Structure formats: structure tokens, C-alpha cells
């Protein structure tokens, strides 16, 4: 009896809701997976705030034919199996039109595999392994944030510009997280360096596990081998912990230290405050103080008004993801025709906060990877974005190539 | 006398003896400490290192046991058996896939592989972590422990980390139908040895059959000198400590050098301290020695500084006192002998001169009485006067040599003073001298009355003689600390120090007609009556003679 009653109430609710959505506007449903607890939770929370900002943006563009997007945010906890089960439930029970989000590349590969099976579009907003747009690529996967390949391409150029004229080979050591993201970043960096005829020699490759708490043995090994440049591929709390421990052991006094993908993330700068050493070469997929455009400033301030803090790069990725879905749906005229929708995604072009003046983020139709500008800076004192005391400056800007590079094994 | 620093005197000998006695234990203790502490440090290091090595080996055993447990859970699943039985399809059931996915959530496990008995891999979970067979697959170390085989390690290469396999066969009716393998993260095992790292001292290595060496971060390690090895935590697998490039002995050697230097500095300090003490002791003892020798040579004028510490200062004071007493004793002995000689001589003179003189005087008297000639009478008078003078001198001399014993009685000083003033009034007036009497009018002395009069007369006459141009003569009597002091002071010519020293010697006089016996006789009279006489004088300012008579209880009970 009780069950029947509940069904009746649910049906009544559906009947009441339908006229509003069906008649007046296009509404689509997205299910996003982000870590909301545990390590990396800040990325998820920032993404949730940014999704709200994106919904407000879409609300203001309703008249231009943009759909309104209902977003269900689920806590992935950066676990593959949990994420997979949530993704199944979102598709099978919540009937979402899109899957989105995911911070960890391993998790993203699991979710992407499921999206392929379920034939549901998965819009990646934060994970960065090129494998997803390479060997794992399928017609239902698109990524709207920079991947490590773009970061490493820019990083390789940065290294070439800085050390290109040397008589001796540049000694490079790499330390990155022990999973696909780290492997790919290092593979790509080496490939791009070779492409630019950079004469270099690998003095060490180290793979501490993700969410490691003691990097001391690794730092000691890095310091025991004569090295010119240490390229670090860590992100989030791992990077914060590494920097603190390396600073204590004076690694930064011995080598040039670079992290091209996530080290310059505002979250890291805010966490380390004065413990962030000066002169490190860092980058991130989005910066609160670059590009100096109104769009970026507005986004950063709007986020701050909403959340009371400045955004990490995950926020801009999530914001881009929702806008990308809206743009593709608008161009395809709905979610009914998946082929049309895919074509819309393939040729997507968006003006995003992270785009410098005169540039629009553009989807590469073959790799399904959004092409964006990468800005690499050095850490300098800057109190303008409290609680961070050190920010990036002394920028070097790297525009994406026209055609997205296919490297190695086809990834 | 020069300071004889090079002589090995007694003090120095004792000090050197003490120094040697202090240095021998110091050297002994330093040597023993060095030897035993070195052994102790060796033992401690060895014990500690071995304990840590065993700890690491135990951690690795436990880690492997956990993985084997995990593997057993998979092998024991009915779905696993079904998977291998279904030879055609080899589909992993959704339940089993989720279970396997859950197992590979651990960062220690890269993938789970399901293989045929032949070794061919049928399925990998997660599927996207399939691996290529390494080139040296057949050369990889393979060990069997219980039901599981451990294959590897495969070292990091091509930008991918190292790994090893733990595999276990799946049985059905005692027939092997398939193999389940865990592809393990190599660093998860090697990192368990990271606690053993002592930068610059030694480094841990994980060795497999003595041919594969791994660092704690899972990379290939160089061969190096081995310090210690653990037991095997898997067949052929062990942890060892190798030379870390630093000098192990260096810190200990540094401590030993520091201790040695400290011991040498202590010894040098002791030598310097003892030398200083020896010099100081000598600086007190040598003058004492020299002083004693001077006394032996008859020189009593050499006094010794009394600043020495403790017994040395006391010894110096005793020496000085002894020297003074000895000097006085000898002086008084000389005086006694001189008096005895003078006494004998005086008796002779009295007999040989006074008797003839008496005859001469009588004769001269008779001659003068009968003489009419005035000129000759004057001459007889002169002869009589001169003979009287010679007799007086002989009388004084006899008094000095053989004084009469005092007959003491209470004498009121005031009366004695007045008698003297009366006696001298005319002379004083002639010479324009004012005689001033002062003091306690009630004072009495227990003294021979004639002696006291003689004493006062001699002293006042001396005073008047010292003031030819007039002046003041002061006689005072007062009590001082129970003693009675009588002083006679003039403001006449005074004496220099040399004269003052000689003035008490018999026959010393500064006057043409003086006998030189007045003051010696006075002094003798004072001492005969139990008093002491002292003279203070300054040229141009006058002379004060002070007589001190010790207090004596009179019969009346008054002090005198």
C-alpha cells in the first residue's frame, strides 16, 4: 500500500514538472563524478561551485537557445570501482544524458570504458592522461581541459628555450605518480624534447605511489645523482608534500625544478603559502592571475564571491565542461541525435576564462581533446591572492598546434 | 740572593711527584675509555643495524604474506574456477570483475592476470593495464614458496616502473586448470627498506640471488661493499646494507681525537699548574732559607715578608719574631758583660784613684789654709775644684757600674715635680725657660725616692742644656692603659737619628764638659725601678723622654 502511494506521488510530481521543462526550455541532465571527500576533495568542491556558476551563465543565455543543465554531483572518492558503480547508476537509474568530471586518470579510464559500453557521452573536465584521447579514445569521450600532452609540449619548449644551446646533454630526472597519468606525462615530455632536437640524458625515473606521505627516499635518490633539471609530474597534496620535504632536504638549491601540468595550481600555492620556494618553474591548466582578461577576472571573482576562496584549475575545467555540453546540445538541437551531438562536440569552439585575448578553446575533431593555451611561469612573491603568498609570474605562453600531435603507440 | 729556579727543592720534588701521580691515572683512564668505548660503539652499531635489518625483512615477509592472502582469496573463488573451466568463452563474471577491480584499487597491485597453465595470459584486470612480456622473461628469477611462485623482479625500463609477479595455480580435482597472478608494484616492497637509509653512511639494498640489486625506490642498485645482511624473507631474497660512500669510522675517530686532545690539554694544564705552584712555594721558602742563613752568619737585620699563605705566613712571622728576640738577647748579654767589666774597673779606680785623691784634697786644703799669697790660694782652689770634679765623675761612673739597689716607697709624682721645679727655678729663669708641670696630680709611683729625683734631675738638666736660647720644659704624668707614664719634653735643638742611637751609650756626649754618663745612668735607674725609657727626638723641634712604669697594686688599693 505504502509502495503504491509512493509511486503515485512520484508520478504526480513528474506530471507537474513536465509542462515547465518540455514547453519552455531545453533541459538536459548530467551526472558528474568528483572526489568530494578524501584526497583531492578540494578539486571536487571547486568543480561543484564552478558548475553552479556555469548554470548561472546558461541561465543568462537562455534566450540565445542554450539548454539548462541539471547536474547530479557524486562523490567518486578517486576510487575506480566506486566510480564505475556510480556511473552505472547515473546512467541506468538517473537516466543522465552526459557523464562528466573525474579528476583521476585511472578512474577516468574506468568511467570512459563504461561510457563506451553504455553509449553515453563522457565529458572529461579534469583528468589529464593522453591515453584517454589516444588508445582509449571512443566516439563518446571528449575532454575540455588541457591534458598532460599539451603541458608537456609546452614544457619541452620551455626546456628547449632555456637550455637549448648547451654543449653538454641536459641531465633530466623525472618523478611522477605511479599510474597512467605519470607514465604518459614522462613519455610525452621525452618525445617532445626529442622532436625539438634537445640533447638530453635521463638520470633517473622515479614512481612514488599516489597519496604517498613520505617522499624522502625518492628525494635522496634525486639528490644523489648529478642532475640539471628535475621534472615533477605530481599534483594536489602529493605535490604539496613533495615540495615541503624537498625544501627541507634542499633539493631546490641543487637543481632546477619544473612541474608543467599541475604544480602551479592555485590550490597548491594557497596550501604552501610561504613554504612555496621561489624560482620554481610551474604551470597549471588554469591560473587565477593569467590571462589578464576581463573574462578570467570575472570568473575568478564570481567564484570567490560564491565560495569565499579563489578557484583551483579544476573549477575552470568543470565550468568549461558544462558550457561545452550546453554549446553542443544547442548546436545539435537536443540530445536525441547522438551523431549530431558528436559532430557538435568534435567541432566545438568555446570562449573560456582561461583563453587569452584573441584565442578560443577549440576541440580537436580527431583526438576529442580541447586545444588550449599553456602558460608556464616562475614562482615569485605576490600577495594579491591570499592566502597564497607566492604566485606565478614571469610568464611564457605556448599556443597549441593546429593539429593535435599523435605520438608513439597511437595515443 | 738570586732565586734558584733550577734547583730541585723539596716543594718542587713533591709537586712533580704529585703531577706524575695525577698523570698516570689520566693516561690509564683515557686509554681504557678509548678502548672500551670503541668496542661498545661497535657492538651497539652492529646490534642496532642487525635489529633494523631484521625489522625490514619482517616487514617484507608480512607484506608478501598479505599479498599471498589476497591471491588465495581470488584463487578460491568459485567464479575463478568457472572462468578457467569455460575454455571457449573465458568471460569474467560481473561479480568477479568487480571483486578483482576492488583488489587492484590498492596502489601496490598494478593488475591481476588470469593465465592458462601454459602461461598464456587470457585476461587482465583492469583490461587497460595489460602488459607486454619482457624480453628477458625466461631469465627472470623464479622462486617457489609454498603454493605460490614469485617471478621477477622486472626492473624499471622504458619509462615504466618495475614489477614482480606473485602467482598461484587454480586446482580442480588436483589438476591445474589455470594460474592467477598479481602484478605487484616493485617499489611497494622495496620502500619497506627505506627506513634503513643513513645518508652518507650506508644504504639498504634488496638483493635477489645476489645478482639483482634494488634500491629502496625500486631502481637498479650498484654493487658495493656489504656491511650486513638480513635473513632471506623469500627464498633468495634478502635485505643488505652497503657502503653509502661516507666514512663510517670518521665520526668515531673524530671523537677519539677530541678525547686525546682533551687528555693532552689536561696534562699540559696540570704541568703548568704544578710549575706555577712550585714557583710560588719557592718564592716563600727561599727567603726563609736565606734569612736563616743570614742569622747563622750573625746578620740580624734581614726580615722576611709575612704575606705568605697559611703556615708559610705563620712561619715567616715566627722567623721574624725569633730574629728580633735573638738580637735583643745578644745585645743584653753584651751589656751585662760590659757592666761586669766596668764594675771590676770601677772598683780598681775607686781604690787606686779616690784614696790618693782624698790625700791630695786634704793636703791641698792644708796648703791653702796656710797660704798667704792670694794668687797661690786661687790656684789651690782650682786644684780643689778640679779634684772635686774628678771625684764626682768617678762617683757617677761607680753609680753606673755598680748602682745601689732601689729602696721603693710610694712617691707622689706631683711632689717630685715641684721639688725639681724649685731646684731649677733660678737656672731656668736665667736661661729664660718656662717649666710647665701637668697631669694627674694624684698619681703615685712605687719607686726609690732618691732614684726618682736623680732621674728627673738628669732629664730636666739635659732639657735645659738643649735650650740655650730659652724655651719650654714640660713635665707630664698620666695614666695610659693602667701604666703610669712620666714624660719630660723640651722644644730645644733636638737630635738626629744617629745621635739618638748613640746617646744611651756610656761616655757619649755632645757637650764639652759632659761625662757621657747622665742618660745611661738615668736609663739604668729607670730599669732598676721596673720602668722603661724611650727617647723621641727631632732636630729643631726638641726631645721627649718618656718613662713608663707598669701598674702595681699599692697597699692602699690605688694604682701606682
Best to test chain A binding among B96, B107, B109, B221 (most A CBs inside 10 Å): B107
Is residue A183 within 8 angstroms of chain B, CB to CB?
A: yes
pLDDT greater than 60 at residue A286: yes
Query: What b/e sequence results for A388-407 when a residue is b if at least 16 CB atoms lie within 10 Å of its CB, and e otherwise?
Result: bbbbbeeebebebeeebbeb
Specify the pLDDT at position B540: 87
Query: Is the Cβ pair B107, A210 closer than 8 Å?
Result: yes
Nearest-CA distance B222 → chain A (Å)? 13
pLDDT(A118) > 50: yes
CA distances from B33 to B19, B26, B37, B43, B46 (A): 21, 10, 6, 15, 19
Q: Which residues of chain B neighbour A217 with C-beta distances below 8 Å? A: 191, 194, 197, 216-217
pTM (two decimals): 0.65
Residues 6+ away with beta carbon under 8 Å from B86: none
**pLDDT on residue B401:** 67
**A166 in contact with B at a CB cutoff of 8 Å?**
no
Query: What DSSP state is assigned to residue A171?
Result: E
Q: How confident is the model at residue A97 (pLDDT cuts 50, 70, 90)?
A: very high
pLDDT at B250: 65
CB B529 within 8 A of CB B447: yes
Mean pLDDT across A333-350 = 94
With 0-12 / 13-18 / 19 or more C-beta atoms within 10 angstroms meaning exposed / middle / buried, residue A338 is middle
Q: Regarding predicted confidence, which is higher, A53 or B95?
A: A53
Q: Work out the number of other CB atoms within 10 angstroms of the CB of residue A65.
A: 13
Within 8 A by CB and 6+ apart from A393, the residues are A289, A377, A378, A379, A380, A382
Where do the H-state alpha helices sit in B76-163? 78-85, 94-103
Indicate yes or no: CB of B194 within 8 angstroms of CB of A204.
Answer: no
Q: Look at B197 and A220 and tell me if their CB atoms are within 8 Å.
A: yes
CA distance A283 to A287: 8
Write down the pLDDT at residue B7: 55
H-run or E-run covering B361: helix B355-370
CA distances, B526 to each of A277, B444, B518, B529, B555 (Å):
107, 15, 12, 5, 22
Question: Could you tell me if B205 lies within 8 Å of chain A, comparing CB atoms?
Answer: no
Question: Is A35 in a helix, a strand, or coil?
Answer: coil
Q: How far is B200 from chain A (nearest CA, A)?
A: 10
Yes or no, beta carbons of B126 and A84 under 8 Å apart = no
Give chain B positions within 8 Å (CB) of A105: none
Q: Give this complex's ipTM.
A: 0.84
B95 touching chain A per CB within 8 A: no
d(CA B31, nearest CA chain A) in Å: 39
C-alpha B227/C-alpha B246 separation (Å) is 13
**Contact residues on chain A for B131, CB-CB shorter than 8 A:** none
CB contact under 8 Å between A113 and B128, yes or no, is yes
Tens digit of pLDDT at every position of chain B (560 positions):
444 445 556 667 777 788 788 888 888 887 887 778 777 777 877 888 888 889 999 999 999 999 999 999 999 989 999 899 887 777 888 888 888 988 898 899 999 999 988 888 888 988 777 777 766 667 788 999 888 999 989 999 888 999 999 999 999 988 999 999 999 999 999 999 998 888 877 889 999 988 899 999 999 998 888 888 999 999 999 999 888 776 656 666 777 788 888 888 888 888 888 888 888 888 888 888 888 888 888 888 788 888 888 888 888 888 888 888 888 888 777 877 777 777 777 777 777 787 788 888 888 888 888 888 888 888 888 888 888 888 877 777 777 766 678 888 888 888 888 888 888 888 888 888 998 988 887 888 889 888 888 888 889 988 888 888 889 999 999 988 888 999 999 988 888 888 888 888 777 777 766 667 788 888 888 888 889 999 999 888 899 999 999 875 444 434 33
Question: How close, in Å, is residue A77 to chain B by CA atoms?
Answer: 12
* Mean pLDDT over the full length of chain A: 90
Residue A151 has pLDDT above 90, yes or no: yes
B160 contacts A183? CB cut-off 8 A? yes
Mean pLDDT within A300-314: 95
Cβ A217–B128 below 8 Å, yes or no?
no
Question: How high is the pLDDT of residue B527?
Answer: 87
Instruction: Give the pLDDT of residue B251.
Output: 66
pLDDT digits (tens, 9 = 90+) for A244-273: 999 999 999 999 999 999 999 999 999 999
B130 touches A: beta carbon within 8 Å: no
All cell numbers assigned to B203: 644504504
**What is the predicted pLDDT for the residue at B71?**
93
Query: What is the C-alpha separation between A76 and A63, in angstroms, rounded?
Result: 34
Above 90 in pLDDT, residue A361? yes
Amino acid at each position: 500500500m505504502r509502495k503504491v502511494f509512493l509511486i503515485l506521488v512520484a508520478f504526480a510530481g513528474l506530471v507537474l514538472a513536465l509542462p515547465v521543462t518540455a514547453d519552455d526550455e531545453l533541459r538536459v541532465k548530467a551526472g558528474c563524478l568528483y572526489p568530494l571527500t578524501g584526497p583531492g576533495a578540494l578539486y571536487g568542491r571547486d568543480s561543484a561551485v564552478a558548475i553552479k556558476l556555469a548554470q548561472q551563465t546558461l541561465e543568462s543565455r537562455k534566450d540565445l537557445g542554450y539548454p539548462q543543465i541539471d547536474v547530479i554531483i557524486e562523490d567518486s572518492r578517486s576510487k575506480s570501482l566506486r566510480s564505475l558503480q556510480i556511473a552505472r547508476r547515473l546512467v541506468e537509474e538517473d537516466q543522465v544524458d552526459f557523464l562528466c568530471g573525474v579528476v583521476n586518470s585511472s578512474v577516468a579510464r574506468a568511467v570512459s570504458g563504461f561510457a563506451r559500453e553504455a553509449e553515453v557521452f563522457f565529458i572529461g573536465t579534469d583528468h589529464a592522461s593522453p591515453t584517454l584521447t589516444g588508445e582509449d579514445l571512443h566516439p563518446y569521450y571528449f575532454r575540455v581541459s588541457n591534458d598532460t600532452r599539451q603541458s608537456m609540449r609546452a614544457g619541452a619548449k620551455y626546456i628547449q628555450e632555456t637550455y637549448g644551446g648547451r654543449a653538454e646533454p641536459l641531465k633530466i630526472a623525472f618523478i611522477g605518480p605511479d599510474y597512467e597519468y605519470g607514465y604518459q606525462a614522462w613519455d610525452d615530455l621525452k618525445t617532445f624534447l626529442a622532436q625539438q632536437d634537445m640533447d638530453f640524458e635521463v638520470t633517473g625515473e622515479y614512481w612514488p605511489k599516489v597519496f604517498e606521505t613520505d617522499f624522502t627516499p625518492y628525494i635522496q635518490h634525486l639528490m644523489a645523482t648529478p642532475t640539471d633539471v628535475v621534472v615533477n609530474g605530481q599534483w594536489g597534496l602529493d605535490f604539496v608534500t613533495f615540495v615541503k620535504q624537498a625544501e627541507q632536504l634542499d633539493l631546490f638549491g641543487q637543481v632546477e625544478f619544473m612541474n608543467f601540468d599541475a604544480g602551479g595550481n592555485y590550490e597548491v600555492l594557497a596550501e604552501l603559502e610561504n613554504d612555496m620556494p621561489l624560482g620554481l618553474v610551474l604551470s597549471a591548466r588554469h591560473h587565477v592571475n593569467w590571462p589578464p582578461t576581463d573574462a578570467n577576472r570575472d570568473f575568478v571573482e564570481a567564484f570567490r564571491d560564491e565560495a569565499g576562496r579563489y578557484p583551483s584549475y579544476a573549477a575552470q575545467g568543470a565550468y568549461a565542461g558544462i558550457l561545452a555540453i550546453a554549446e553542443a546540445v544547442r548546436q545539435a538541437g537536443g540530445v536525441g541525435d547522438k551523431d549530431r551531438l558528436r559532430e557538435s562536440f568534435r567541432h566545438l569552439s568555446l570562449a573560456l576564462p582561461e583563453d587569452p585575448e584573441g584565442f578560443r578553446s577549440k576541440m580537436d575533431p580527431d583526438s576529442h581533446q580541447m586545444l588550449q593555451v599553456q602558460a608556464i611561469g616562475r614562482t615569485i612573491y605576490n600577495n594579491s591572492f591570499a592566502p597564497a603568498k607566492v604566485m606565478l609570474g614571469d610568464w611564457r605562453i605556448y599556443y597549441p598546434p593546429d593539429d593535435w600531435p599523435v605520438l608513439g603507440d597511437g595515443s | 740572593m738570586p732565586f734558584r729556579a733550577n734547583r730541585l727543592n723539596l716543594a718542587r720534588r713533591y709537586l712533580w711527584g704529585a703531577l706524575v701521580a695525577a698523570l698516570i691515572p689520566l693516561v690509564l683512564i683515557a686509554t681504557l675509555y678509548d678502548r672500551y668505548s670503541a668496542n661498545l660503539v661497535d657492538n651497539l652499531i652492529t646490534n642496532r643495524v642487525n635489529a633494523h635489518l631484521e625489522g625490514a625483512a619482517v616487514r617484507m615477509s608480512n607484506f608478501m604474506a598479505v599479498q599471498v592472502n589476497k591471491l588465495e582469496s581470488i584463487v578460491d573463488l568459485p567464479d575463478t574456477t568457472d572462468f578457467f573451466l569455460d575454455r571457449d568463452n573465458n568471460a569474467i563474471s560481473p561479480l568477479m570483475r568487480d571483486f578483482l577491480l576492488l583488489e587492484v584499487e590498492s596502489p601496490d597491485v598494478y593488475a591481476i592476470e588470469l593465465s592458462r597453465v601454459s602461461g598464456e595470459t587470457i585476461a587482465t584486470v583492469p583490461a587497460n593495464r595489460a602488459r607486454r612480456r619482457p624480453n628477458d622473461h625466461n631469465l627472470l628469477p623464479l622462486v617457489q614458496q609454498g603454493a605460490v611462485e614469485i617471478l621477477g623482479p622486472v626492473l624499471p625500463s622504458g619509462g615504466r616502473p618495475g614489477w614482480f609477479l606473485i602467482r598461484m595455480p587454480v586446482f580442480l580435482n588436483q589438476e591445474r586448470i589455470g594460474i592467477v597472478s598479481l602484478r605487484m608494484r616493485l617499489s611497494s616492497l622495496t620502500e619497506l627498506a627505506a627506513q634503513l637509509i643513513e645518508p652518507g653512511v650506508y644504504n639498504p639494498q634488496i638483493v635477489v640471488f645476489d645478482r639483482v640489486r634494488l634500491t629502496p625506490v625500486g631502481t637498479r642498485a650498484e654493487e658495493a661493499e656489504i656491511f650486513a645482511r638480513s635473513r632471506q624473507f623469500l627464498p633468495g631474497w634478502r635485505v643488505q646494507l652497503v657502503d653509502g660512500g661516507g666514512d663510517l669510522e670518521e665520526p668515531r675517530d673524530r671523537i677519539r681525537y677530541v678525547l686525546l686532545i682533551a687528555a693532552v690539554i689536561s696534562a699540559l694544564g696540570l704541568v703548568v699548574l704544578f710549575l706555577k705552584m712550585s714557583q710560588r712555594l719557592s718564592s716563600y721558602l727561599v727567603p726563609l732559607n736565606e734569612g736563616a742563613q743570614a742569622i747563622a752568619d750573625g746578620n740580624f737585620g734581614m726580615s722576611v715578608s709575612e704575606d705568605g699563605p697559611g703556615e708559610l705566613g705563620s712561619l715567616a712571622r715566627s722567623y721574624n719574631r725569633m730574629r728580633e728576640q735573638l738580637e735583643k738577647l745578644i745585645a743584653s748579654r753584651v751589656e751585662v758583660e760590659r757592666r761586669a767589666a766596668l764594675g771590676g774597673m770601677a772598683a780598681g779606680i775607686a781604690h787606686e784613684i779616690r784614696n790618693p785623691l782624698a790625700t791630695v784634697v786634704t793636703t791641698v786644703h792644708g796648703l791653702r789654709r796656710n797660704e798667704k799669697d792670694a794668687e797661690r790660694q786661687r790656684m789651690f782652689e782650682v786644684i780643689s775644684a778640679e779634684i772635686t770634679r774628678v771625684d764626682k765623675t768617678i762617683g757617677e761612673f761607680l753609680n753606673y757600674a755598680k748602682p745601689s739597689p732601689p729602696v721603693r716607697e710610694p712617691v707622689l709624682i706631683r711632689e717630685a715635680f715641684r721639688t725639681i721645679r724649685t731646684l731649677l727655678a733660678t737656672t731656668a729663669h736665667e736661661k729664660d725657660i718656662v717649666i710647665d708641670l701637668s697631669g694627674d696630680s694624684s698619681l703615685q709611683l712605687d719607686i726609690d725616692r732618691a732614684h726618682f729625683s736623680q732621674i728627673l734631675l738628669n732629664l730636666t738638666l739635659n732639657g735645659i742644656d738643649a735650650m740655650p736660647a730659652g724655651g719650654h720644659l714640660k713635665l707630664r704624668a698620666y695614666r695610659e692603659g693602667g701604666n703610669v707614664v712620666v714624660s719630660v719634653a723640651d722644644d730645644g735643638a733636638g737630635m738626629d737619628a744617629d745621635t739618638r742611637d748613640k746617646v744611651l751609650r756610656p761616655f757619649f756626649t755632645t757637650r764639652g764638659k759632659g761625662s757621657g754618663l747622665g742618660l745611661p745612668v738615668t736609663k739604668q735607674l729607670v730599669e732598676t725601678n721596673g720602668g722603661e725609657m724611650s727617647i723621641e727626638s727631632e732636630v729643631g723641634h726638641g726631645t721627649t723622654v718618656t718613662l713608663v712604669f707598669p701598674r702595681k697594686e699599692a697597699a692602699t688599693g690605688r694604682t701606682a
